[in-house]
Structure 1
Amino acid sequence: MSERPLDLGWIRVFEAVGRLGSLTMAARELGLSQPAVSYTMRMLEEQLGTPLLLRGHRGSTLAPPGQTLYRAAAAAVGELDIAARAIRRMNRRPVVRLFTDYGFASFWMMPRVAAFRRVRPDTEVHVIASASTDPRGDDAEDVAVLFGARTDFPAHATQLLEERVVPVCGPRFAARHQLGTEPGRIGALPLLHLESTPRPRWFGWADWFAANGLARQPSSNDLSLNTYGLVVQAAIADQGVALGWAGLIDGALADGTLVAIGPPLVRADHGYWLRPGPDPSPAACDLIDWIEREMRADRDAADS
C-alpha cells in the first residue's frame, strides 16, 4: 500500500507554503512546479478577497489572514494524515519482525516459518538475522531471540534453549578416522571454530577440552568461520569436527547428516532467550506463543 500523502488539493499546497515559508520549497516537497503552487495561492486569495502571503525576496511569510487560515489548514492536514495512516494499517497484513542471530535464523526459525504461516496466514514474519547482539534502530524488532547468559536479559525474557554442545562431524569423516566416543581422539583432528570476540558468549573448543581434562593447541589444520551456518556446512562436507548446539543441529543428527562423537558440555544459565519487544502487537504475541509451543514440543519429543 502506497504511503503517498492524500491529495487534499489547495489545502495541502497552502499548508506546505505556510509551514516552509517559500513557494519554491513547497513546490519541491509536493512534487509540483513553482508556477503551479503560485497559481493555487493566487486562486485562493481571489476566492477569499484578501492577500494571504507577504511576498519578499527571501521568501513568503503569512499575512494575518493567512495565519488564521494556516492554523485551520495545519490542523486539518494533520488529522487527515493520521486518519489515512490508520486506514492503510487496517488494510495491511500484520508484520512481525524477529531479530536473531544467523544460527537460530538458519537452523531453527526458517525451516518452521511455513508452519507458522499455516497458523497465521494473515501475518508476515520478517526474520532479521545479524551477528550483532542487539537490535539497532527505533523499531528494530517486535520479538528478539538472542544468545547469552541469564544476566544479559531482563526478567521477562524466557529461556528457549539451554546451552548444550556436543562434538559432531559427518558420518564418513567419523568412519574414516574410526571415531567412537573417546574424546582424546578428537584432539588429533582438524577442528572447526566459530569466530568470536575475545570474550565469547558461547562455548568454544577450549571450554570443551578443559571440561574433559584434555589439552589441545590450535592447529594449522583448523578452520575458523564467521557464521555458524558455515561451520555446520564445513562439518557436513567432512572438513573437520565442529561443536554442535542442541536445538540447532537436532535435525542433522536425526537424519544422519551429522553424528555426535563425544560427550556433551552443558551450561544451564546460558542459551537462547526470547525477549518481547516493547508493547508487542497481537500478531507478535501469537508468534511468541507459537515459538514457545514449538520449543516445548521439541523437548517432549527429545524426552520420549
Structure 2
Amino acid sequence: MSTRNRPLSLQSLRAFEAVARRLSFRLAGEELFLTQSAISRQIKGLEEELGAVVFQRDTRQVTLTAAGLTLQRAVQPLLERLDGAVRQIRSAGARPRVAITTFASFATLWLIPRLEAFQRRHPALDIRIAAHDTLHDMDDPDIDMALRYCHPDDAPPGALLLFGEVLAPVVSPWYLERARRGEIAALDQPVDLAGHTLLEVEGLYLGSSPYRSWEHWLAARGLQALQPRSWVHLNYDHQRVQAAQASQGVVLARLPLVADMLARGELVEPFGPAGRDAVPYGYWLILASGAVQRPEVQQLRDWVAEQAAPVRQALGEHAP
C-alpha cells in the first residue's frame, strides 16, 4: 500500500488538531506533552501522507492552508466524538448519568429550579446540563437528551412537545403598583407602554425572533408607531426577566418560562389575558437514539413530561 493510500495515524491527527486550534506548534506541544520538534515531525509526516501542505509557517505566525481548513472541519468533530465515546465507556461502571443540552434561558428559568425535586426522587442519578444556544448533534455520545425550542415542522421524529409558546408583557407587582398609584406612568392598556422602558432581546434569533420582538407584539395591536420612553436590550431571556423583577421595565416574556413566577405573584401581566399572543413554536424534548433504552434517561424523560403538565394547564393547553 502506498503512503498516500494508508489511513492517517491518530497521533498525527491529534497533533494537527491542536496546532490548528491554537495556531502554534509550541502551545500544541505543551497541550499534548510533546516537544515542539516532535509536533513538527508529526505535521511533516501528516503532510507527506496527505500529499498537501496544511499549515503556512512564517517567523511570527502559523495559518491554515485551504487543505488544512478542509482537514480541520473533518477532524475536529471526529476527535470530539471519539473522546466522548471513550468517556462514556470509561464511566459505564460509575454512577448513572444523564447529559442534557438546552438553551441558557430554559435551563435558568425552567429546568434548574425544578431539578431538586427530581434529585430527591432519584438521589443516585447524576445530571449534566450543557446550557448554551449552540445546537448539539444528537449523535454526540456526550448527549442523552435535548430540550429545544422550534417550529413543529423542525421537530425531529419522536420528539415530545412539552408545551407551546405564549408571549405577554409582564412586570413586577411593585412596578405595577407604582403605576396604579400614579408614581410612574399609567400601565392600563397597551398604548400606555409609550411611558415606560421596554426590555428587548439583543440580537434576535432567526426563525422565532419576529414573534418575540416588541415590534411584532405592538404591530398586532395597531401600535407599530409607538415608541417607548426608552429601550434596554439584553442578550438572554433570563436577563430580561431579572430586569423586570428588579422593576427596570416591561418585558415581553415567554410565559412557559415564567409560569411559576406568575403563579407566585413575583411577576404580573398588566393587560391580563388580552396581552397574550400564542405563536407557532414550542418546547420539545428529544432523546438521543443511543440513550432511548437506558432506564435513567426514561426516568428523567417521564419527570420532565410530568413537570410540563402544570405549565400546559396554566397556558390553557391540552395534553399532547
User: Shorter-chain TM-score category?
Assistant: 0.5 to 0.7
Q: Which residue of 2 aligns with 1:295?
A: 308
Match of 1:283 among 296, 308, 312: 296
Match of 1:89 among 81, 92, 102: 92
Gaps of 5+ in 1: 1-19, 21-30, 32-84
Separation of aligned partners in 1, 2:196 and 2:229: 11
- Determine if contact 2:166/2:315 at 8 Å carries over to the other structure: no
Counterpart amino acid of residue 186 in structure 1: L
Q: How has the CA–CA distance of structure 1 residues 231 and 216 changed in structure 2, closer, same or farther, with 3 Å as cutoff?
A: farther
- Deviations along 1:185-223, whole A, 9 cap, x unmatched? 123311001223463524211121122221245657200
Q: Which residue of 2 aligns with 1:182?
A: 189
Give 1:134 deviation, angstroms.
Answer: 3.9
Give 1:129 deviation, angstroms.
Answer: 0.5
Gaps of 5+ in 2: 1-10, 12-32, 34-87, 181-185
- Determine if contact 1:192/1:240 at 8 Å carries over to the other structure: yes
Q: How has the CA–CA distance of structure 1 residues 286 and 186 changed in structure 2, closer, same or farther, with 3 Å as cutoff?
A: same
TM-score between both structures, scaled by the size of structure 2: 0.62
TM-score between both structures, scaled by the size of structure 1: 0.65
Separation of aligned partners in 2, 1:198 and 1:128: 19
Q: How has the CA–CA distance of structure 1 residues 100 and 116 changed in structure 2, closer, same or farther, with 3 Å as cutoff?
A: same
- Deviations along 1:249-276, whole A, 9 cap, x unmatched? 1122122221101210102x30211111
Equivalent position SS for 2:92: helix
Q: How has the CA–CA distance of structure 1 residues 87 and 208 changed in structure 2, closer, same or farther, with 3 Å as cutoff?
A: closer
Counterpart amino acid of residue 291 in structure 1: V
Higher radius of gyration, 1 or 2: 1
Q: Which residue of 2 aligns with 1:168?
A: 170
Residues paired across the two proteins, number: 221
Equivalent position SS for 1:260: coil
Q: How has the CA–CA distance of structure 1 residues 289 and 214 changed in structure 2, closer, same or farther, with 3 Å as cutoff?
A: same
Equivalent position SS for 1:99: strand
Q: Which residue of 2 aligns with 1:215?
A: 224
Which of structure 1's runs of 4+ aligned residues deviate more than 6 A?
none
Separation of aligned partners in 2, 1:271 and 1:181: 29
Separation of aligned partners in 2, 1:154 and 1:287: 19
- Determine if contact 2:256/2:315 at 8 Å carries over to the other structure: no
**Does 1:125 find its partner at 2:138?**
no
Q: How has the CA–CA distance of structure 1 residues 158 and 217 changed in structure 2, closer, same or farther, with 3 Å as cutoff?
A: same
Q: Which residue of 1 aligns with 2:285?
A: 274
Counterpart amino acid of residue 165 in structure 1: L
